[in-house]
Structure 1
Amino acid sequence: MGILSRTSYVIRSKINSVLNRAEDPTETLDYSYEQMRDQLQQVKRGIADLTTQKKRLEMQKRRLEDNVDKHNEQARTAVQQGREDLARRALEKKKTKMNQIEDLERQISQLQSQQDSLIDQKDELQTRIEEFRTKKETMKARHEAAKASSTVSEAMTATGEEFEDVGRAIERAEEQTEDMEARAAALDELHESGAFDDVLSDKDSIDRELEELSTGSGVEAELETLKSDMGQSDSESGAASEPASDVDAEVDEDELEDLEADVDDSEVEAELAELQDEENT
């Protein structure tokens, strides 16, 4: 096989493949049915034309037969009048017309045979068309049923093109959702770790550690203060349970002023601030 032949074969096979994919069997059946009906109409028109020609010949034959009768009467009249010459001329015309009638009869017979043949072909074609119509409707119903069944099967198995697109869309949506969930989790983790604080503030890690130590030492100092206060309260409650002497009960005003002088105002302010913080929290 030469190059051109192979190329032509490949092209024809490609075209045939494209046509097979684009072809709708139901439309093809309907088109074939319409073509057969057109052929039937052509046959009917042919029969009508042939019958018309036959009728014309039959009319012409009847006119010739009338002329034959006329010439026959002319010949009789001429003989009665002793005009053999006129009788001979009338008989000659009669003979000519009879020959024409015989020729017309042969043509009419041929047309009749053709007409009968066309009528038989028309009847056969019409029968085939009716059979094809029944088969066509049956094939269309089977095709539609098979198409519906295939669509349902594709829907159940998700193998159709549309369902494949839907499946891919769902996969993409799941991937995007997972990406957004992972990003949200990462942002939460960075927020908890303080990574965003580094971006939003000018403090470095050393500043944050010092603040944590300061906060821890402040808590420890407050804890020690509470412990000391609670211990002092216990000692005072024990002392109050014993009978107090008049000497211990009396406190010199000068000593009270000395004790108040020893108290640092800053310590009082700090304690007051801590108490206010606790109330606010």
Structure 2
Amino acid sequence: MSIMKRMSLIFRAKANKALDRAEDPRETLDYSYQRQLELLSNVRRGVADVATSRKRIELQLAQLEQQAGKLQGQAEKALQMDREDLAREALTRKSGLAGQINDLKAQHAQLQGEEEKLVNAQQRLQAKVESFRTRKETIKATYTAAEAQTRINEAVSGIGEEMGDVGMAIQRAEDKTATMQARAGAIDELIASGALDDATSQGSGDDIARELESMSSQADVEMELMRLKGLSSPGAPGAIESGAGDTSDVVSSEAPQAEGEQR
């Protein structure tokens, strides 16, 4: 297959696909019904034209027959008056009219037959158009119902384009919410562990509290150190027996010893 033939085939295929997507069966049915109505209207005009021609011929026939009757009467009257020449002239003219009358009668019969055919065709076409209209409305209603059902099913299942976009938006919102929750939890853990300072707790009052906590911690360290010294001093069985007694007793017993050593 040549390149031009392939390009032509591809173009026709894509054009056909585009037309299929753009075509609405309801619009196509309405257009077909409109065309049938136009055809029916043309047939009716044809019937009217033929009927008009038939009626015109009937009028001409009536006039010619009236003229023929008049000539017949003139011929009879001329014979009564012994005017054979006038009678012959009247009969000659009547004979000429008789030929025209016969021709018009033949045309009338032909037009009458054509009119009957057109009337029958009009009746059949009108019945077909009415049947098509009923079927068209049924198909349109069925198609509309099927289209609505399809959209509802797509919306329920989430496979529709619009609902797909909504589902993606919800998924993105849930992902961002989960990310923000995880970030907030991580920051809380870092603040609780001391890796990060709480910016809302920084100030002069918090500095004093931290310093007091530091001094209290140092005092506890000194008291524990003095207790351990008392426990480790020689000749202090009472201190050893007391074990983990009150640290205030240890501090009071150590104070006189420190004063004697200074003296």
TM-score (norm 1): 0.69
Q: Is 1:8 aligned to residue 8 of structure 2?
A: yes
- State the alpha-carbon separation in 2 of the partners of residues 97 and 39 from structure 1: 41
Q: Which residue in the other structure is 1:217 paired with?
A: 218
- Between stretches 183-192 and 150-159, larger displacement belongs to 183-192
- State the alpha-carbon separation in 2 of the partners of residues 34 and 214 from structure 1: 101
Q: Deviations over 1:207-259 (max 9, x none)?
A: xxx9997663244347779x5447789x9xxxxxxxxxxxxxxxxxxxxxxxx
Structural RMSD (CA) = 3.4
Number of corresponding residues? 227
- Asked if 1 retains the 8 angstrom alpha-carbon contact of 2:191 and 2:198, the reply is no
SS in 1 for 2:82: coil
SS in 1 for 2:171: helix
- State the alpha-carbon separation in 2 of the partners of residues 101 and 218 from structure 1: 148
Q: Deviations over 1:186-211 (max 9, x none)?
A: 3334444555549999xxxxxxxx99
User: What is the deviation of 1:137?
Assistant: 2.4
Q: What is the letter of the counterpart of residue 180 of structure 1?
A: M
- Between stretches 154-163 and 188-197, larger displacement belongs to 188-197
Distance 1:96 1:159, change over 3 A: same
Q: Residues 165-176 of structure 1 correspond to what in structure 2 (within 5 A)? A: 165-176=165-176
Q: Is 1:125 aligned to residue 125 of structure 2?
A: yes
Q: What is the letter of the counterpart of residue 173 of structure 2?
A: A
Q: Which residue in the other structure is 2:180 paired with?
A: 180
Distance 1:145 1:88, change over 3 A: same
- State the alpha-carbon separation in 1 of the partners of residues 188 and 198 from structure 2: 15
User: What is the deviation of 1:10?
Assistant: 2.3
Q: Which residue in the other structure is 1:86 paired with?
A: 86
- State the alpha-carbon separation in 1 of the partners of residues 5 and 106 from structure 2: 55
Q: Which residue in the other structure is 1:20 paired with?
A: 20
Q: Residues 91-240 of structure 1 correspond to what in structure 2 (within 5 A)? A: 91-194=91-194, 196-197=196-197, 216-221=217-222, 227-229=246-248
Q: Which residue in the other structure is 2:77 paired with?
A: 77
User: What is the deviation of 1:109?
Assistant: 1.1
- Between stretches 94-103 and 130-139, larger displacement belongs to 130-139
- State the alpha-carbon separation in 1 of the partners of residues 33 and 220 from structure 2: 99
Structure 1: state its 5+ residue gaps.
202-209, 236-261, 263-281
Q: What is the letter of the counterpart of residue 138 of structure 1?
A: T
Distance 1:211 1:230, change over 3 A: closer
- Asked if 1 retains the 8 angstrom alpha-carbon contact of 2:64 and 2:97, the reply is yes
User: What is the deviation of 1:154?
Assistant: 1.9
SS in 1 for 2:159: coil
- Asked if 1 retains the 8 angstrom alpha-carbon contact of 2:40 and 2:122, the reply is yes
Q: What is the letter of the counterpart of residue 113 of structure 1?
A: G
Distance 1:228 1:189, change over 3 A: closer
